[in-house]
Amino acid sequence: MFDGVVPLDLTAVTLNELEVVGAVGSPGTYPLAAELVASKRVDLLPIVSQIIPITEVIDLFSSDAHTEAGRKVVVRLAEE
pTM score above 0.85: no
Q: Distance (Å, rounded) from C-alpha 11 to C-alpha 3? A: 23
In a domain, 1, yes or no: no
Model pLDDT for residues 31-46, shown as the tens digit of each residue: 888 899 899 999 988 8
In a domain, 2, yes or no: no
- Side chain identity at residue 26, one-letter code: S
Model pLDDT for residues 9-67, shown as the tens digit of each residue: 999 999 999 888 877 777 778 888 889 989 999 998 888 888 889 888 888 777 565 56
In a domain, 34, yes or no: yes
Domain count, the chain: 1
34: containing domain = 12-76
Look up residue 21 and give its DSSP letter: -
In a domain, 38, yes or no: yes
In a domain, 31, yes or no: yes
In a domain, 3, yes or no: no
In a domain, 24, yes or no: yes
